[in-house]
Amino acid sequence: MKNTFYITTPIYYVNDLPHIGHAYTSVACDVLARFMRLAGRDVRLLTGTDEHGQKVEKSSQAKGIAPKQFVDEVSRHFRDLAKLMNISNNDFIRTTEPRHIKGTQLLWQKMQESGHIYLGSYAGWYAVRDEAFYAESELVNGKAPSGAEVEWVEEPSYFFRLSAFQDKLLKFYEEHPDFIMPQSRRNEVISFVKGGLKDLSISRTTFNWGIPVPGDEKHIMYVWLDALANYITAPGYPDGEDYKKFWPGMHMVGKDILRFHAVYWPAFLMSADLPPPRRVFAHGWWTIEGEKMSKSLGNVVAPSELVETYGLDQTRYFLMREVPFGNDGNFARERMASVINSELANNVGNLIQRTLSMIHKNCGGVVPDAQGVAKDERDMAFLQKAQVTDSVTHQDVEKRYYDCKFNEILADIMHIASEANLYIDTKAPWKQKKIDEKLMQATLYHLAEAIRCIAIMLQPFIPDSAAKILVMLGYAEEKAAKGISFSELAPEYALKSGTVIAPPQPLFPRIEI
Ligand code: MSP
């Protein structure tokens, strides 16, 4: 891996209000971006809105306003989402921006110059909801496989020679076994491509809301070509410094849009002689209390409501903790409350509360001194896990993040916190105090140091709370807010005795079930 890291969320359709699915992808990208920054990489995180196409045009018509006015009004919902979820994006791209339109038209020209675009006519099915073309054979009971309504379309159209890329794509997947993740999704894509690729219609003439085809302005580019191009136009394709520095990047997408990212997009790029993305990770879908989330069922979960009810970091934590990334998951309120209570409130919260209040009561509110007390086996086992310092473990952590093993990483951090709680019970510092105060001091020191490590490790997931914990332990507010590098897990950065620490503040209130 080079020292830069570029990660993207899908760009969201503006006709919908943000829901838990959007928050999920964005938080996952943010966790990865924050980790990579703290591991010392130069990171770019991109999100934005997909504002063209028939779906958006229809929504604006339904509101009786011009599409441009409509998108200007609604794209801010997704800017607000990024703020609400504390997403550390470096940029926000809107596909109606001139920088995007210019870059996308250039991409089209490159694809055309290499002979991969030709004029023909399209006759077939189109699903506006999916913004996708379907062959007769793909329909299920007269609908798209996704359940979307389809309409018959017959019009002149430019085509992309996707058929010419079947072997190239298969070779590319073969040479890059981790390009599509998880593996089960990779296998699906490979069998789809092996089944044969047809040329793809990439322009429409029966509506207007999109990017005109250069040199033939009656044609509007297919919205997926337009949308996918955002990943390179935002950093400044073709000459922008950031484009040159950061591309190729990694895309995080839901399983429903994997084909666009893992088949069409690399083929478009190859045809323009540009490098394909570095990785496409497809995550699963959330059902809500066992049901598919849908407007008609009225069970759409708004991120703002979750943040209000459970708290921001609690929501981020739950989304990353509940489901192995890549699998489908079920969202249930009772379960969310119980995960927050048992892991954040009872495990981490209690550990901090117990340790810091004992330090305040018994050590004058400063980090105690462990000098002169030999470490026993228990101390060692415990600290070695907390201070994950050696480079081998560190490399391993990086791969786990890159492979999006978020729930396992959190399980490991929680395990350290549980061990620390157990350590308090077995060492019983309140008893040690009566035997030899030095023993108690050493125990409390090791616990405070474990909390420091746990907070550093939790930063990508719950950045605000982690910073608060670090400030309680004596880190300067500004430094903690910027984030503490993972290299500071090393023992040479361990807490210094005598450092003044703040009285514990409640961080994760218990949620009533
Ligand atoms: N505009 C396209 C993406 C273009 S990217 C070049 C799009 N937008 S979307 O707003 O409809 O969807 C964005 C993401 O939300 C997708 O990755 C989709 O998988 C995800 N989700 C939508 N519903 C979801 C759930 N119920 N659960 C998890 N993610 C879900 O597609």
Confirm if 254 and 21 have CB atoms less than 8 A apart: yes
Distance, C-alpha 388 to centroid of its chain: 24
pLDDT in tens, 363-385: 999 999 988 888 888 777 777 77
**Confidence at residue 2, expressed as pLDDT on a 0 to 100 scale:** 61
DSSP 3-state assignment of 279?
strand
Q: DSSP of 216-258, one letter per residue?
A: EEEEEE-HHHHHHTHHHHTTTTTT-HHHHHH-S-EEEEEGGGH
Residue 67 to residue 56: CA distance in whole angstroms: 7
Average pLDDT over residues 12-21: 95
- Range 411-418, long-range pairs (CB < 8 A, 24+ positions): 411/321, 413/454, 413/457, 413/458, 414/343, 414/347, 414/348, 416/382, 416/385, 416/386, 416/450, 416/453, 416/454, 417/347, 417/348, 417/351, 417/450, 417/454, 418/347
Q: Is the pLDDT of residue 327 over 70?
A: yes
| Residue the block writes with tokens 């394909």 | 276
Residue 248 to residue 443: CA distance in whole angstroms: 48
Domain regions of the chain by residue span: 333-493
Higher per-residue confidence, 395 vs 158: 158
Ligand 1: which of 17, 29, 49, 50 to mutate, most ligand atoms within 8 Å of CB? Answer: 50
DSSP letter (8 states) at residue 66:
-
Neighbours of 197 (CB within 10 A): 19
Q: Beta partners for 44? A: 6
Ligand 1: which of 12, 29, 251, 259 to mutate, most ligand atoms within 8 Å of CB? Answer: 12
**Confidence at residue 396, expressed as pLDDT on a 0 to 100 scale:** 83
Average pLDDT over residues 126-151: 92
End-to-end CA distance of the chain: 45
Q: Which residues contact 67 (CB under 8 A, 6 or more apart)?
A: 56, 57, 60, 209
Tell me, in angstroms, the distance from the centre of ligand 1 to residue 22's CA: 6
Q: How far is CA 330 from CA 292, 336, 349, 402, in A?
A: 9, 10, 26, 24
User: Which fold, 333-493?
Assistant: Isoleucyl-tRNA Synthetase; Domain 1 (1.10.730)
Among residues 28, 60, 35, 33, the alpha carbon closest in space to that of 44 is found at 33
Ligand 1: which of 14, 16, 22 to mutate, most ligand atoms within 8 Å of CB? Answer: 22
Neighbours of 298 (CB within 10 A): 7
pLDDT in tens, 88-136: 999 999 999 999 999 999 999 999 999 999 999 999 999 999 999 998 8
pLDDT above 70: percentage of residues in the chain: 98
Tell me, in angstroms, the distance from the centre of ligand 1 to residue 494's CA: 43
**Confidence at residue 388, expressed as pLDDT on a 0 to 100 scale:** 61
Residue 167 to residue 175: CA distance in whole angstroms: 12
Higher per-residue confidence, 81 vs 374: 81
| Residue the block writes with tokens 């996952």 | 28
Backbone φ, ψ for residue 117 (5° rounding):
-125, 135
Cis peptide before 235 (omega within 30 of 0): no
**Confidence at residue 395, expressed as pLDDT on a 0 to 100 scale:** 61
- Name which residue sits closest to atom 29 of ligand 1, judged by CA: 21
Residue 227 to residue 428: CA distance in whole angstroms: 59
**Confidence at residue 380, expressed as pLDDT on a 0 to 100 scale:** 73
Q: Is the pLDDT of residue 389 over 90?
A: no
Q: Is the pLDDT of residue 247 over 80?
A: yes
Residue 360 to residue 246: CA distance in whole angstroms: 48
Q: Is the pLDDT of residue 236 over 50?
A: yes
Residue 329 to residue 341: CA distance in whole angstroms: 20
Q: Which residues contact 110 (CB under 8 A, 6 or more apart)?
A: 271, 272, 273, 274
Tell me, in angstroms, the distance from the centre of ligand 1 to residue 21's CA: 7
Residue 69 to residue 303: CA distance in whole angstroms: 25
Average pLDDT over residues 191-210: 95
DSSP 3-state assignment of 497?
coil
- Ligand 1: lining residues by beta carbon, under 6 Å: 10-13, 16, 21-22, 24-25, 50, 227-228, 253-254, 256-257, 285-286, 293
Residue 451 to residue 470: CA distance in whole angstroms: 9
Q: Counting atoms of ligand 1 from 1, which one is nearest the CA of 13?
A: 10
Confirm if 19 and 60 have CB atoms less than 8 A apart: no
Q: Is the pLDDT of residue 43 over 70?
A: yes
Neighbours of 463 (CB within 10 A): 22
Ligand 1: which of 256, 268, 306 to mutate, most ligand atoms within 8 Å of CB? Answer: 256
Tell me, in angstroms, the distance from the centre of ligand 1 to residue 143's CA: 20
Residue 494 to residue 433: CA distance in whole angstroms: 23
pLDDT in tens, 253-309: 999 999 999 999 999 999 999 999 999 999 999 999 999 998 888 999 999 999 999
| Range in 82-86, 136-140, 173-177, 237-241 the model is least confident about | 136-140
Tell me, in angstroms, the distance from the centre of ligand 1 to residue 360's CA: 48
Q: Is the pLDDT of residue 70 over 70?
A: yes
Average pLDDT over residues 343-352: 97
DSSP 3-state assignment of 147?
coil
Average pLDDT over residues 51-61: 94
- Which amino acid, 102? K
Q: How far is CA 319 from CA 65, 338, 364, 449, in A?
A: 36, 13, 39, 28
Q: Which residues contact 322 (CB under 8 A, 6 or more apart)?
A: 329, 331, 335, 336, 339, 407
Residue 312 to residue 462: CA distance in whole angstroms: 8
Residue 255 to residue 261: CA distance in whole angstroms: 10
Tell me, in angstroms, the distance from the centre of ligand 1 to residue 258's CA: 10
Average pLDDT, the chain: 94
Give residue 490's pLDDT band: very low, low, confident or very high (50, 70, 90). Answer: confident
Neighbours of 237 (CB within 10 A): 25
Half-sphere exposure of 359 (CA within 13 A, CB side): 31
Q: Counting atoms of ligand 1 from 1, which one is nearest the CA of 12?
A: 10
Q: Is the pLDDT of residue 390 over 50?
A: no
Q: Is the pLDDT of residue 501 over 50?
A: yes
Give residue 393's pLDDT band: very low, low, confident or very high (50, 70, 90). Answer: low
